[in-house]
Amino acid sequence: MQQSRTFKKVLVANRGEIAVRVTRTLHEMGIAAVAVHSEVDRGALHVRMADEAYLIGPAPAAESYLRIDKILDAAKKAGCDAIHPGYGFLSENADFAEACEREGITFIGPPASAMRAMGSKTAARKKMAEAGVPIVPGAMCSTTDEAIAAAKLIGFPVMLKASAGGGGKGIRLVHEASEMASAWERARSEAKKFFGDDTVYLEKALIKPRHVEIQVLGDRDGNMVHVFERDCSIQRRNQKVVEETPSPAASRELVARMGAISVQGAKAVGYHSAGTFEFLLTPDGEFYFLEMNTRLQVEHPVTELVAGHDLVREMVSIAQGEKLHFTQTDLVSRGAAIQCRIYAEDPSNGFLPSPGRIESLVTPAGPGVRDDGGAYPGCEISSYYDPLISKLCVWASTRERAIARMRRALSEYIVTGIRTNLAFHEKLFQHPEFVAGDYDTAFIDRNKEQLLGYPTVPEADREAVAVAVAVAASRLERATGAARAETGENGSRLSPWVAGLRARLHR
């Protein structure tokens, strides 16, 4: 049992919205927050909100946010008791966790041993199988010939996956033997590029699965609970864009079973802090272990909204040596919560990033709306990092009302100066199959025509559409309080799109 202590100062080893979100909880707990930043992030919101900030290098993450030595140097200069890694960057790096402990700085996360046990997907599959967690049939292969033989035994289609992978990188779907050679080389090449390890493994591709994950939380004394599920099946390029809880596809009995198995798996590796077990759920109700994320998840706010607990606060308390503040029977899931990831990207062009300067930004508010953001009017969305602007979340008593609330919130969200995926989200929340909860991980690919791009407007209707868009531009002007001129009160230049529509509206 660890001696309990109280942190006075914590360094947040991250950037953007997650650094802002962690800083807010630290301030609520009366703990000073220290930020680190690259040269291009000098004016970032997470830097502005922190009590202290330290420059750690140039823009490339490999020279700044991934530099263990520079982050530890900043923590020691600031006199920090602990470091919270957020997600991404060094959050699942066991060497970083160990380096923190060697310097007498508490790592707010799981033990390095658990991170290592679950960090390799192949090793994690083996460990979880030993712990009684159901896994997808698969195999380790050294050559394409071995992969083809294994695939024929398991049955096509199969997935090739980077052993050290994550975030949708190093994954290839193979439908038949003739595709294996090229998929094998591409998966290995991408794995080497993104993770420094070209090891790939083969896994049975499940038909129309849903991606359902279980949040676990445990203290250093061995107490462990699950905090329900999240359905993360709406994905593009194997990356999540919408998450919700409860899952429309999982009964409470199924969630309880998945939760119990997740707790069993976490205990098998001596886990503590927050973590997530990811599963593929088939239409017939079978579920298979996919991977464990040994960190806080991007989509954690929806769990907080239905469970009523601040997961970051719990992580900090656990790191201070405190016991969990609740048991499994204390936890109750109330209502429904949905999260939309608002990205600077162009859905009509393959969801490619759209970095640039945000000119106007108006975020939604009102009952049941939460926007976890890291941007502000005039800030730059850098091409060096993930183009996430914010995570828009809603809560309501039922899923039907949560969808209606999200529609309203999306209609209030205004961003100019860059392309975003807001229009995609608006179309998604009108799609009858999504509204009915009938979707899986291939939903976006199957419904590209309805969800992506822009419809062709008949000649006879173009004037009416132009007027409607001009009215929308007028709404933007009122919402932002800008003058009719091409510059706002703060001197920022309005986009040509908005300026042109204003001229049409007021001529």
The answer on 257 and 348 residing in a single domain is yes
| Tokens, residue 61 | 């993450």
The answer on 169 and 145 residing in a single domain is yes
The answer on 356 and 327 residing in a single domain is yes
In a domain, 120, yes or no: no
Answer whether residue 253 shows pLDDT above 80: yes
Q: Can you give the residue range of the structural domain that contains 46?
A: 9-108
The answer on 407 and 318 residing in a single domain is yes
In a domain, 306, yes or no: yes
Q: Residue 157: exposed, middle, or buried by beta-carbon count in 10 A (0-12, 13-18, 19+)?
A: middle
Residues 163, 37: Cα–Cα separation, whole Å: 30
In a domain, 123, yes or no: no
Supply the pLDDT for residue 489: 42
Supply the pLDDT for residue 2: 61
| CB-based contact 89:16 (threshold 8 Å) | no
Edge-to-edge, what's the strand order for the sheet holding 138-140? 138-140, 200-204, 158-162, 171-174
The answer on 385 and 251 residing in a single domain is yes
Answer whether residue 469 shows pLDDT above 80: no
In a domain, 293, yes or no: yes
In a domain, 280, yes or no: yes
Q: What is the pLDDT of residues 214-242, one digit of tens each?
A: 999 999 999 999 999 999 999 998 899 99
- Distances 277 to 7, 282, 333, 414, 419 between C-alpha atoms, Å: 29, 16, 18, 35, 33
Residues 89, 336: Cα–Cα separation, whole Å: 30
The answer on 83 and 51 residing in a single domain is yes
Domain boundary among 59, 90, 108: 108
The answer on 341 and 286 residing in a single domain is yes
Average pLDDT of span 36-58: 98
Q: Which helix (H) or strand (E) holds 444?
A: helix 443-446
Q: Who has greater pLDDT, 469 or 40? A: 40
Supply the pLDDT for residue 168: 73
In a domain, 122, yes or no: no
Answer whether residue 267 shows pLDDT above 90: yes
pTM of the model: 0.84
Domain boundary among 204, 230, 255: 204
List the Cα angle 464/470/476 in 5-degree steps: 145
Q: How many CB atoms lie within 10 A of CB 8?
A: 12
Supply the pLDDT for residue 476: 57
Supply the pLDDT for residue 194: 83
Supply the pLDDT for residue 237: 87
Supply the pLDDT for residue 187: 94
Supply the pLDDT for residue 506: 38
Q: Structurally, how many domains does the chain consist of?
A: 4
Supply the pLDDT for residue 238: 86
Of all residues in the chain, the percent with pLDDT exceeding 90 is: 81
Strands 82-84 and 106-107: parallel
Average pLDDT of span 185-191: 92
The answer on 422 and 274 residing in a single domain is yes
The answer on 80 and 21 residing in a single domain is yes
Residues 78, 72: Cα–Cα separation, whole Å: 10
The answer on 286 and 168 residing in a single domain is no
**Considering the chain, what is the average pLDDT of its residues?**
91
Answer whether residue 154 shows pLDDT above 70: yes
List the Cα angle 256/261/264 in 5-degree steps: 125
Q: Which helix (H) or strand (E) holds 12?
A: strand 9-12
Supply the pLDDT for residue 396: 98
Q: What is the pLDDT of residues 158-177, one digit of tens each?
A: 999 998 876 677 899 999 99
The answer on 100 and 18 residing in a single domain is yes
Average pLDDT of span 95-118: 97
The answer on 318 and 272 residing in a single domain is yes
Report the CATH number at residue 187. Answer: 3.30.1490.20
In a domain, 1, yes or no: no
Q: Which residues are known to be catalytic?
A: 295
Supply the pLDDT for residue 493: 45
Average pLDDT of span 292-313: 98
Query: What 3 state SS string does 378-432 have?
Result: CCEECCCCCCEEEEEEEEECCHHHHHHHHHHHHHHCEEECCCCCHHHHHHHCCCH
Beta bridge partner(s), residue 160: 172, 202
In a domain, 129, yes or no: no
Torsion, Cα of 334, 440, 258, 157 (10° steps): -170
Answer whether residue 456 shows pLDDT above 60: no
Answer whether residue 484 shows pLDDT above 70: no
Average pLDDT of span 283-288: 94
Answer whether residue 464 shows pLDDT above 60: no
Answer whether residue 501 shows pLDDT above 50: no
Answer whether residue 504 shows pLDDT above 80: no
Report the CATH number at residue 430. Answer: 3.30.470.20
Answer whether residue 292 shows pLDDT above 90: yes
Supply the pLDDT for residue 491: 43
| CB-based contact 337:291 (threshold 8 Å) | no
The model's confidence at residue 420, banded by pLDDT at 50, 70 and 90, is very high
DSSP 108: S
Q: What is the pLDDT of residues 308-358, one digit of tens each?
A: 999 999 999 999 999 999 999 999 999 999 999 999 999 999 999 999 999
CA atoms within 13 A on the CB side of 471: 6
